[in-house]
Structure 1
Amino acid sequence: MIINVGRKPHVVFENRLAKAKKIESIIKLEKKIKSEHKLLEVGTGSGEIAFYYAKHYQQEVFAVDISDNRQFVNGYSFQLVSDTKLPYDDNFFDIVISNHVIEHVGEKQQQQQHLDEINRVLKPDGILYLAVPNRWMLVEPHYQLIFLSWLPKKFRSYYLKKLRNIDFYDCEPLQQNEVEYLLRESKFEYRNYCVEALDIFVREEKGYRGIYGIFRWIPSWLLKKIVWLIPTQIYVAKR
């Protein structure tokens, strides 16, 4: 990942096991996970997701990040990186996970490079799990401010400064058409799994508490009509 001046890694330490299992459930809709598969997690953070796959599947797992904030350090190979370049050969991985990373790597150019690099290191039959917060989420998850990402880009840092005394809004969340444009530009075929992932998230991570309880009563056919409003955009992509 590349972090421009003022950008932070935003490491999450809670609910990583539940997140690993949700990612696993979505991946399995497209590809059976096998012990002989090589897996890469880009932006590993605490390391728990990489650790889960290494332990659960006894597979060869790799992880990269711009800083080492790991709480789980065993069972997989880890490398520090300074930009979007991945230190691996072409056609090396069967599965790559980019979970809430692309919004942190920089501007659109760096986001495109992030996906280009993943395409390069994936095997021809490999898959990418991609999750990115939706620009149209009601509450921005990194700073917990309502409508922060809805604002025009030039006003976001001003809003953040006024309410959190933070000078720079260091994330670039994407709306659905922007994610899909970047995937196409990186020569990926893709499928949106927001509805399936939301069901798993509500049932297994959050239960039916609070605002997420709303989704219990919305039928899948209707969710598919308003998928562009779901707080996290989730895709499985293939070369």
Structure 2
Amino acid sequence: MTQNPSEADKPVYGGHANSDLTSRHLKSLKIASILERRTDLSQADVLDIGAGAGQTANFLKPRVRSVTATDRETDAFLPADIPILETPGTDLPFDASSFDIVVFNHVIEHVGERDDQRRILSEIARILRPDGLLYLAVPNRWTLVEPHYQLAFLSWLPPSLASRYVRWRGKNDWYDCRPFAHRELLKTLQSAGFETDDATEEAFRDLLKIEKSDSRLARLLAGLPSWLVRAAVPLMPTFVVICRARDQSHRRDATD
């Protein structure tokens, strides 16, 4: 674990929530569209981890059977009719096989170091029901401009140098994100007990259709052949993976 500042002062996840309501609505629509192609949302009990102000949870609520939210701090959560639990660490306070869908949208990069990320993935595998789905989105480590701090090549650097970079630019006291390269992400998910369905191309096309529908460039990009988009997936700024737990053996005690 990074030791600067002290571990007790470091957040496990959160702190970079996107509060732009229009943007969040469109992103929530994209999440729902990708999930609807794979399951019946109306019969799903959903958990939104790192829910922020609750826009995604609120969007999903009328479309699913139930929705529950968690975050390391809950003060910013707005929907009064959605249960929100405070989860400052990587343990999830739910029984095994509690949910049909877990939404983990741009959160895993904030969950500490790789061991912490593997821990929470094992917890998600534990609380998913058989054939349950994990929706996971994460920035590409090799993106040119890091999306949280808008600094070029930030996520390319070792953590100690990245922290110096954000301090030098007056952005934060340390670099608190750990994004993934494409192959590393898939290997990490598989080692945590998931079968992976890479939905990055699908998310890219939904982005063009849903979030960039008035863009001339988006209309041009939408015409790219699938083989070319698939070849470019490791270079995409964001990866989206839909996961199914292979079995229910990844219990809490398996990672203690």
TM-score calculated relative to the size of structure 2: 0.85
Pick the aligned partner of 2:53 from 21, 39, 46: 46
Task: Rate the CA distance shift 1:162–1:203 in 2: closer, same or farther, 3 A.
Answer: same
Task: Report the alpha carbon displacement of residue 177 of structure 1 after superposing the two structures with TM.
Answer: 1.4
Instruction: Provide the secondary structure at the position in 2 that maps to 1:170.
Output: coil
Task: Report the alpha carbon displacement of residue 214 of structure 1 after superposing the two structures with TM.
Answer: 7.4
Task: Report the alpha carbon displacement of residue 61 of structure 1 after superposing the two structures with TM.
Answer: 0.7
Identity of paired residues, percent?
A: 37
Comparing 191-200 and 210-219, the one that deviates more: 210-219
**Runs of 5+ consecutive residues of structure 1 not aligned to the other structure:** none
Comparing 203-212 and 45-54, the one that deviates more: 203-212
Deviation string 1:147-172 (CA, Å, 9 cap, x unpaired) is: 11122333211222222353201100
Equivalent residue, structure 2, for 1:98: 104
1:32 aligns with 2:44: no
What are the equivalent positions in structure 2 for 1:117-136 lying under 5 Å apart?
Answer: 117-136=123-142
Task: Rate the CA distance shift 1:212–1:146 in 2: closer, same or farther, 3 A.
Answer: farther
The residue identity in structure 1 corresponding to 2:236 is I
The 1-side partners of 2:100 and 2:47 are apart by 8
Equivalent residue, structure 2, for 1:201: 207
Equivalent residue, structure 2, for 1:140: 146
Equivalent residue, structure 1, for 2:28: 20
Task: Report the alpha carbon displacement of residue 232 of structure 1 after superposing the two structures with TM.
Answer: 0.6
The 1-side partners of 2:32 and 2:232 are apart by 25
Equivalent residue, structure 2, for 1:237: 243
Instruction: Provide the secondary structure at the position in 1 that maps to 2:169.
Output: helix
The 2-side partners of 1:165 and 1:97 are apart by 28
Equivalent residue, structure 1, for 2:232: 226
Deviation string 1:31-81 (CA, Å, 9 cap, x unpaired) is: 1212x3210000000101111111234x21100000124353133211111
Comparing 85-94 and 199-208, the one that deviates more: 199-208
Instruction: Provide the secondary structure at the position in 1 that maps to 2:34.
Output: helix
The 1-side partners of 2:60 and 2:222 are apart by 29
Task: Tell me if the contact between 1:55 and 1:75 (Cα under 8 Å) persists in the aligned partners.
Answer: no
Instruction: Provide the secondary structure at the position in 1 that maps to 2:167.
Output: helix
Equivalent residue, structure 2, for 1:166: 172
Task: Report the alpha carbon displacement of residue 219 of structure 1 after superposing the two structures with TM.
Answer: 2.6
The 2-side partners of 1:72 and 1:96 are apart by 20
- Taking only aligned residues, the RMSD between alpha carbons, in angstroms, comes to 2.1
Deviation string 1:157-215 (CA, Å, 9 cap, x unpaired) is: 12222223532011001111121121111110011111110111122213465986774
Number of matched residues?
A: 235
TM-score calculated relative to the size of structure 1: 0.90
Task: Rate the CA distance shift 1:160–1:212 in 2: closer, same or farther, 3 A.
Answer: farther
